Chains A and B, each alone.
Chain A
């Protein structure tokens, strides 16, 4: 079974600085997808960034970027120029089956932004 591990229950960063959230996963599949989701207090799941495993290039979305290390099964999220609105729970997630499978989530990292 696939597993996703987030080893940082909580992270704190000063506003405008950069923070990196860690995620590792375990799978025997060769084709899969990885995601970072943000869950603010409203509890609405918001997609931050996606990465297809077959792509070597790391995904970027404005201030958000990932460091995808396929051999190491690592998928970290870097948030640059942190903003107060970035404060939330962040979940790393995985799926395979051509993307038609349900997501396996990590336990989450609570990100605190210090003004």
Chain B
């Protein structure tokens, strides 16, 4: 149980376009979802926290107008990178928590590799 999926796993887009990444909890209801960014050979950095039906909370330094997060249901959160530029190329990982045995334990998706050309 506690499976989180992400789609797509890889995406290439042209500079100036927007791209949407989906994060789904497949077998549980996610009370909160998180979005992280990981640069090559680096650690994960929290970008934002989203709760179903409310606005996302962004970490300091993360542009909320560039990284749009929508948490429309208890099983789906989306991250839209708007007007993408090559510096937005990165590995994006989502995670989710729910009413599980360990409600504080985050379950991670497999990640999405974004390349902006």
Instruction: Show the binding face of A for B, using Cβ within 8 Å.
Output: 33, 42-45, 47, 50, 91, 95, 98-108
For chain B, what secondary structure do more than half of its interface residues adopt (helix, strand, loop), or is it mixed? strand
Instruction: Show the binding face of B for A, using Cβ within 8 Å.
Output: 31-32, 34, 36, 38, 42-46, 49, 59, 91, 93, 95, 97, 102-106, 108, 110-111
Beta-carbon contact of B46 and A100 below 8 Å: no
Beta-carbon contact of B102 and A103 below 8 Å: no
Beta-carbon contact of B111 and A44 below 8 Å: yes
**Residue of A91, A98, A102 ringed by the most chain B CB atoms within 10 A:** A102
Min distance, Cβ B39 to any Cβ of chain A, angstroms: 11
Beta-carbon contact of B104 and A100 below 8 Å: yes
Q: What are 28 A-B residue pairs whose CB atoms fall within 8 Å in the complex? A: A33-B104, A43-B38, A43-B93, A43-B110, A43-B111, A44-B108, A44-B110, A45-B108, A47-B105, A50-B102, A91-B43, A91-B44, A95-B104, A98-B104, A99-B102, A99-B104, A99-B105, A100-B104, A102-B36, A102-B59, A103-B34, A103-B44, A103-B46, A105-B43, A105-B45, A107-B43, A108-B42, A108-B43
